[in-house]
């Protein structure tokens, strides 16, 4: 990677490289990433956390981003790809907003934006979720408020699973997960039945072997080295 003197641009260059890795495997229609080792072991996945943690990162900024991503994943167990995409967009926004500023004002403007974002995360984000997200999510459920109406459950599960596995695997996993949810929601305490479904899910999701040192994205391009 070329040497960059501006710390903001240096951070953006590193995060942009990570963004290139995950951008093609975002969402149900996204592609998969193939990792290979010299031993012949392969990992085929589109799971963001698995993709990013399989990379061998040497740049200190990349390692810091990865540690933040791991902390985020421990809390939410989701959103690794979105984390990188939003971080890249945020850094570009900060860069563009201070690009035309004088050099003496640039650092102050960057710090001001960073502090405003930090304050918003602590003080304003909960209100946004409470007033903007919760009512919308609540409308997906029936009058009892316990089970999603109609095909909402399949759509939610399908979208979630589709962002992590291939379309063929998602097609198998979605109805199994929906049925498992229905059984548990209705108080089915048949542990043997749950075990059978768990085994089916594991069999359907199986398809990876080992880890890797050389990632290759679908289409023949290798992600940028960090």
Same domain, 45 and 144: no
Counting other chains too, the contacts that 62-69 makes at CB distance below 8 Å and 24 or more residues apart are: 62/14, 62/17, 62/18, 62/226, 65/14, 65/15, 65/18
Q: Both tokens of residue 197?
A: 């479904």
Domain limits for position 114: 7-131+209-217
Q: Does residue 2 form part of some domain?
A: no
Same domain, 41 and 106: yes
Number of domains forming the structure of the chain: 2
Other CB atoms within 10 A of residue 182 CB: 12
Q: CATH code at 89?
A: 1.10.560.10
Q: Does residue 225 form part of some domain?
A: no
The per-residue pLDDT of the chain, averaged, comes to 74
Q: What pLDDT shows up at residue 173?
A: 87
Report residue 211's pLDDT band, with 50, 70 and 90 as the boundaries.
very low
Same domain, 21 and 85: yes
Cα distances (angstroms) measured from residue 36 to each of 21, 41, 55, 182, 186: 15, 6, 11, 38, 43
Report residue 64's pLDDT band, with 50, 70 and 90 as the boundaries.
very high
Helices and strands (H and E) in the chain: how many: 10, 3
Q: Does residue 35 form part of some domain?
A: yes
Closest CA to 26 of 79, 90, 81: 81
pTM over 0.85: no
pLDDT per position as a tens digit, 165-210: 778 888 888 888 888 888 777 776 565 565 566 666 655 555 443 3
Same domain, 16 and 123: yes
Same domain, 123 and 161: no
Same domain, 122 and 142: no
Same domain, 213 and 194: no
Q: Does residue 223 form part of some domain?
A: no
């Amino acid at each position: 990677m070329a040497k960059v003197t501006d710390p903001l641009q240096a951070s953006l260059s590193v995060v942009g490289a990570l963004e290139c890795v995950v951008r093609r495997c975002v969402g149900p229609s996204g592609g998969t990433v193939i990792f290979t080792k010299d031993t012949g072991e392969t990992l085929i996945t589109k799971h963001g956390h698995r993709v990013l943690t399989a990379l061998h990162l040497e740049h200190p900024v990349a390692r810091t981003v990865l540690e933040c991503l791991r902390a985020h994943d421990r809390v939410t167990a989701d959103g690794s790809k979105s984390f990188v995409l939003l971080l890249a967009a945020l850094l570009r926004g900060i860069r563009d907003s201070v690009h035309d500023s004088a050099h003496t004002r640039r650092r102050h403007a960057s710090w001001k934006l960073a502090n405003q974002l930090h304050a918003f995360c602590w003080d304003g984000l909960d209100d946004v979720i409470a007033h903007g997200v919760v009512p919308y999510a609540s409308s997906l459920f029936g009058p009892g408020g316990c089970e999603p109406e109609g095909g909402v459950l399949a759509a939610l599960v399908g979208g979630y699973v589709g962002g992590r596995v291939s379309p063929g695997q998602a097609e198998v996993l979605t109805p199994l997960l929906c049925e498992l949810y229905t059984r548990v929601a209705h108080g089915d305490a048949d542990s043997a039945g749950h075990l059978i479904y768990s085994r089916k899910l594991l069999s359907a999701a199986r398809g990876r072997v080992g880890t890797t040192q050389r990632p290759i994205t679908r289409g023949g391009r290798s992600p940028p080295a960090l």
